[in-house]
Structure 1
Amino acid sequence: MSDSQRPGAVPRAAADFYKPENYQAEESVGYMMRRITTLVSQAVTSDMWEPGAPTFPQWAPLYKLHLGHATTVAELARECQLDTGAMTRLLDRLEAKGLCRRVRSLSDRRVVNIELTDEGRAAARQVPHVLCRVQNEALAGFSREEWEQLKGYLRRILDNTQALAVRGEKDESAS
């Protein structure tokens, strides 16, 4: 929870690090975070590549299913921050690879449950191993203290951007 989200906290003023007259996208925090995510995705995909293996975008839903964080299409879409249409397409690909199956609920025919196959469970068990290996390689040269500091900075950026999103949602509902 950021300071501005704590009860009774005074919101902090926005920083003014970026100026339109000298803005360089490659130097923006957002650009660098997106680039890091893309490169980690590519490293994970190449690390695990074999015919029929899940791609990086398919790892998150597989792992969330494996951990029991979701059991339905709607829950999984929320957990993965995807719309249900995108989740349906992703599940189509996972199902085609034999990693999961959709099963209609017997108590409510509108609900579609998702189950991992044996192959899906085996793939999901590999997720933490691959992600740890790739992320540790990306953090080569960092001390434990620097790593903790970096996570703290990223949490602060996350808190700030979540507050922006909430504010945007409130603005949209007011209009």
Structure 2
Amino acid sequence: MSDANTPHAPSAESDAGRRVPVDFYTPETYRTEESIGYLMRRIVAAVGQSVETRICEPGSPTYPQWVPLYKLNIGAATTVAELARACELDTGAMTRLLDRLEAKGLCRRVRSLEDRRVVNIELTDEGRAAAKEVPYVLSRVQNEHLAGFSKEEWEQLKGYLRRILDNAQALAVRGDKND
């Protein structure tokens, strides 16, 4: 949930203590280009494009391939299933992504000796080298996109984004319980 840096504005709350949505958007005045979803998608696309332009070598990992490389390198996952969850991808998409990473010589799949149903993923030396570049490239790109922000504005922006994420997660939990 939110931390001490999350800005909190007064909000209407129901009897159950849940935040009640405010009508920032209405059908009569709705404009797609002003929606938070559209703006966030555009930002993610711009960041991804900037990362892609930093990767000049043919055969280097693409922006979507950097996340699993990084997660493997820091030990956040070791199996296909764990990596799919960590990267928020379904196992089919993760398998296709791993096929591409393996074809580039960045990782290999190794069947577990303890349980043959489990497939572990190991980075190759080339994969470890590529994964070590991830934080450098992403830090540079994100700092470029935050040009003109003060440290306080950056903290405030992260707090707002965390609050949106908290709301999204709460909606998902309530939706699951209503089914």
The whole-number CA distance in structure 2 between the counterparts of 1:52 and 1:166 is: 40
Aligned partners of 2:38 and 2:175: how far apart in 1? 21
The answer to whether residue 136 in structure 2 is matched with residue 136 in structure 1 is no
The Cα shift of 1:49 comes to 2.8
SS, match of residue 21 in structure 1: coil
Q: Which structure would you say has the larger RCO, counting Cα contacts within 8 Å and 6 or more residues apart?
A: 2
Identity of aligned residues (%): 75
Match of 2:82 in 1: 75
1:51 aligns with 2:51: no
Specify the alignment match of 1:102 in structure 2. Answer: 109
> For structure 1, which runs of at least 5 residues remain unmatched after alignment?
4-8
1:171 CA displacement: 2.2
RMSD of aligned C-alpha atoms?
A: 1.6
Distance in 2 between residues matched to 1:91 and 1:116, nearest whole Å: 11
Q: Which amino acid aligns with 1:85?
A: G
Higher helix proportion, which one?
1
Give 4+ residue runs of structure 1 displaced > 6 Å after superposition.
none
Structure 2 match to 1:24: 31
- 1:23 counterpart letter in structure 2: Y
**2:100 equivalent to 1:93:** yes
What amino acid is aligned across from residue 51 of structure 1 in structure 2?
P
**TM-score normalised by the chain length of structure 2:** 0.91
How far did 1:22 drift? 1.2
Q: Which moved more, 1:48-57 or 1:88-97?
A: 48-57
| Greater CA drift, 118-127 or 46-55 | 46-55
CA distance in 2, matches of 1:166, 1:31: 23
Which one of 33, 40, 43 corresponds to residue 33 of structure 1? 40
Q: Secondary structure, in 3 states, of the residue corresponding to 1:119?
A: helix
Counterpart Cα distance in 1 of 2:22 and 2:65: 36
Name the structure 2 match of 1:6: none
Return the offset for 1:127. 0.2
User: Are 1:157 and 2:164 an aligned pair?
Assistant: yes
Aligned residues: 169
